[in-house]
Amino acid sequence: MQRAAQASHAWAATPGYRRASALRAIAEALDRQTDDLVEIAEAETWLGATRLTGEVARTTAQLRMFAEVIEHGAHVVQPGVTVPGRTDAEPTGPELRRCQLPVGPVAVYAASNFPFAFSVAGGDTASALAAGCPVIVKAHPAHPELSWHTARIIEDALSTAGVGPGVFALVSGMEEGTRLVQDPVIRAAAFTGSSEGGRVLADLAAARPDPIPFYGEFGSVNPVFVLPGAVVDVPGFVTEYLDSLTLGGGQFCTNPGLLIVPRQLDLLPEVARQVSQRPAAALLSAGIQQAFTTKVDRLRTISGVTVHESRAAVPAAGFHVRPVVLTAGGHTAMRDRTLMEQEVFGPAGVIVQYEDADELLALCAGLQGCLVTSIHGGGDSALVREVIREASRRSGRVVWNSWPTGVVVGTGQHHGGPFPATSNASVTSVGPDAIMRFLRPIAFQNLPVELLPSEAQR
């Protein structure tokens, strides 16, 4: 921790083009060792070489994206909201220059489900380093060997790029994780994981004598609304739904955990037929497997729920479960809100059937905050607009006629959402804007240009 504190000022003062060079060095080092990384990850996560190879590519692309952002420096010059018709500075007023400065050392809590893109070298680490903040990553216990191997690659790449010690470090263990967020050296924290663990850390961050920003992603049911007349090809629609539901073993943060459909669509026979043929899914750990079983068993006991489950054989090796879809009517879902609020991490989904537009809107109004809402609809109508309004109030992203899985890493993206999906709906953890979590605004008034930080001289 002391090394991070000592490195903080020098790394913050390092010109953007040099930090960009360091990020590219990390990306190139990871690319060179992709095969070794994937082999380790596959043994620890069961996610498969194809998926993991693609994730390494996404991870290095994120590093290069942030390198490009800081190389041009557009992120540091933030004049703020302008008033139409006024000049930037009134003739009789002071001269103000507003820019962004790094917050200081950042704690990053790695996720289990994306062992590259949201782990040691993931987007939180990349954006914090790009902002000029030293990073201390708390490794996830689901992939320890991969975490340490990735950390060594990052440390070697930074050293080769001429970056001093203390800019990056890795720790492990629950005690280290709780100590990290309470340490006075840490000035912000980013977390992706369970609601239970995230809330503990968020409370610790808020209870400090000097509270710090805690950017937590806790989980989301990501509802999908199907409006009357939107589905023509029922078998094709069900296939798409189950593909999205079981993608990555159902362990995506954007998994469509809740599908709300008109009863008249008569979707359930096709769902029952197709889910019965789905293969068992490999989960990341014994803990996730146990939590999946416990939560699904709880939902099974709700009166009025029908269960449709895969008939696939479950391999003895690893942590496998059968995909399952639980169905209920709108009245049942509103009576027991667990059906609409309980995220089940894994290949499990809830389908709620509504009778009419009034019941659909009642279901919309009862939803909690989420990362993303999908709407399958046709043309313009009062009902479509009302569902979009309700979805916008409760989501960080609204998707039209598609599925929530698959998050584009690019300009315009917002991966966040109202509580309980995240701790701060105003920020994104994906895309170039993710860097803004680790910068703070400052205004310089009447300082001579030669005394200003280089960022403010732009």
217 is catalytic: yes
Cα 189-344-37 angle, rounded to 5 deg = 55
Report d(CA 215, CA 233) in Å as an integer: 41
Report d(CA 195, CA 191) in Å as an integer: 10
Report d(CA 249, CA 171) in Å as an integer: 28
71 is catalytic: no
Q: Which two tokens stand for residue 229?
A: 């007349």
Angle of the 195-207 helix axis to the 174-182 helix axis, nearest 10: 30
Q: Of 42, 44, 99, 253, which one is the catalytic site residue? A: 253
Q: Of 42, 44, 55, 217, which one is the catalytic site residue? A: 217
Give me Rg for the CA atoms of the chain: 24
Count Cβ atoms below 10 Å from residue 406 Cβ, excluding itself: 11
Q: What are the residue numbers of the active site?
A: 217, 253
